[in-house]
């Protein structure tokens, strides 16, 4: 039995950002082991025959208010992005081009840029600014992002998630059990504590 919490994420998802902000606090103050699993949420929704809330008018409008409610509850800086949704394809492929020790900062910068600073991540200039701040060379990066191997890697990770019956983000898997949505983070942690204390 693997004693960890798998955390399926895509930068484009506001609820995943909210879960992420809670997770980084939990990581600071506990020994809980989160395994970050990048996926392409749009691809996963397609495989699952799901229309995302972002494309259903009433749900999207509700989500704006609801995310703010959750952000207030957990005292998370949050600003609904004016350019939501965008394609996160290159950003998520980008994660897979980096050395392990560079991934966390990259994820952090992009999550914050999109869901805290309202930055338009469909604008290449903004991507370059963020990469510069991470000391990542854009030209090298984009070559790797467009490499077929990188494309296949993200596709495979997304397919793998689908096969595990993940259908949205954030999703947590602990002890073979699936927990969907930031609302279920506490349940995932309860399950984690159960298996690590037994």
Report phi then psi at 33, rounded to 5.
-100, 110
* 59 binds a copy of itself per the rule CB under 8 A: yes
Which letter does DSSP use for residue 182 in this model?
A: G
Strand partners, 38: 9
Choice from 2, 51, 156, 193 touching a copy of itself (CB under 8 A):
51
Omega before 82 cis (within 30°)? no
Q: Of residues 25, 62, 64, 137, which one binds a copy of itself by CB under 8 A? A: 62
Interface with a copy of itself by CB under 8 A: which range of 5-13, 55-63, 100-108, 137-145? 55-63
Coil, helix or strand for 105?
Answer: helix
Q: Which member of 35, 50, 64, 143 binds a copy of itself (CB under 8 A)?
A: 50
Contact between residue 198 and residue 35 where contact means Cβ atoms under 8 Å apart: no
User: Is 194 near a copy of itself (CB under 8 A)?
Assistant: no
Strand partners for 191 = none
Cis before 32 (ω within 30): no
Q: Per-residue string for binding with a copy of itself, 138-177, x by CB under 8 A?
A: ------------------------x--xxx---------x
**Where does this chain bind a copy of itself (CB under 8 A)?**
48-51, 56-59, 61-62, 65-66, 69, 162, 165-167, 177-178, 180, 183-184, 187
């Amino acid at each position: 039995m693997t004693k960890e919490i798998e955390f399926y994420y895509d930068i484009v998802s506001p609820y995943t950002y909210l879960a992420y902000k809670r997770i980084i606090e939990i990581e600071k103050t506990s020994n809980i082991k989160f395994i970050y699993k990048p996926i392409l949420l749009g691809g996963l929704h397609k495989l699952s025959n799901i229309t995302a809330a972002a494309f259903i008018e009433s749900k999207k409008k509700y989500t704006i208010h609801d995310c703010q409610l959750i952000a207030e509850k957990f005292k998370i800086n949050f600003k609904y992005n004016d350019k939501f949704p965008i394609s996160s394809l290159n950003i998520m492929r980008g994660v897979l081009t980096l050395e392990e020790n560079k991934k966390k900062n990259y994820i952090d910068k992009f999550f914050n840029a999109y869901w805290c600073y309202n930055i338009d991540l469909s604008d290449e200039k903004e991507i370059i600014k963020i990469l510069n701040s991470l000391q990542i060379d854009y030209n090298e990066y984009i070559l790797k992002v467009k490499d077929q191997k990188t494309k296949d890697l993200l596709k495979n990770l997304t397919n793998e998630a689908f096969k595990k019956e993940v259908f949205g983000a954030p999703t947590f898997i602990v002890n073979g059990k699936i927990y969907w949505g930031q609302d279920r983070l506490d349940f995932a942690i309860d399950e984690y504590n159960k298996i690590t204390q037994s």
